Amino acid sequence: MSMLMRAPRECASWFWDLDEYAPPGLQSALKAAAHMVTVLRKYDLLEPQNLQWPWFIPGTGGAPAGTRLQLLTPIDDDQVLKRIQEMRPVSFPDAVAGDVLVAGTGIWLDEDGTRRREYRLVELTVSPEPFGLSAEIALHHDIWGPYDFRGNPHPGVQRRNAPR
C-alpha cells in the first residue's frame, strides 16, 4: 500500500494577481475560485468540500476566530456568500473574511496506477483583500517530482501524475 506523505509547507505554488480579472471583494474571490475549481476538477485534482477562512477587523488586525463552511452548493452560489456573511463572529460586527481556502479531495495515482483519494492534495486559496483580488494554488506532496520525500526515486508515480 502506498503512503502519501505531506510536507508541512508547500513544495510548489503558483500565484496570480487578478486585478484585471475582477474587482476585489469576497464575491469576486468566490467567482474566481469557482472558475479555478472547474479546471482542477477536470483533472481530478480538487473536488471542493468546504471553505475555511480567518476573520479580520479593518484597522485592528486578526480576530481570534476562524470559520469553516461545508459546501452544499457551488462556490459561487449567492447562498455561499450570504452564509459567509452570516457567520461573522457576533463579538466582531466589523470583521471581514480573510483569505479563503477551498479544501477538498483530489486523486493521485500510485506506482501501480491505482487511483487514491487525498484530502487537500491541491490547495486553492483566494484573497478578497481590498488592495486586489489574487489566487494561489499550493502543493504539499511529492507525486509530481522524481523522488519521494525520503529521497527514493519513484519514476512510476511521477510518470502517472506529472501530465496532470
pLDDT tens, position by position, 44-97:
999 999 999 999 988 887 777 789 999 999 999 999 999 999 999 988 889 999
Q: What is the reported pLDDT for 52?
A: 98
At 2, the pLDDT band (50, 70, 90 cuts) reads low
Cell numbers linked to 125: 486559496
Q: For residue 88, report the phi and psi dihedrals to the nearest 5 degrees.
A: -55, 135
pLDDT 10s digits, 13-43: 999 999 888 999 999 999 999 999 999 999 9
Q: How much is the CA Rg of the chain, to the nearest whole Å?
A: 17
The range of the structural domain enclosing residue 61 comes to 13-139
Mean pLDDT of 105-119: 96
Tell me whether residue 1 is in a domain: no
Give domain status of residue 65, yes or no: yes
Compute the distance between CA of residue 35 and CA of residue 40 in angstroms, rounded to an integer. 9
Q: Give a yes or no: residue 4 inside a domain.
A: no
Based on the structure, what is the number of domains in the chain? Answer: 1
Put simply, whether the predicted model's pTM sits higher than 0.85 gets the answer yes
- Does residue 59 sit within a domain? yes
Tell me how far CA of residue 58 lies from CA of 32, 94, 100, 144, in angstroms: 23, 7, 17, 39
Q: Residue 3: inside a domain, yes or no?
A: no
Residue 23: inside a domain: yes
The yes-or-no verdict on residue 129 having pLDDT over 80 is: yes
The answer to the question of residue 8 being in a domain is no
- SS3 call for 34: helix
Residue 151 within any structural domain of the chain: no
Cell of 94: 466589523
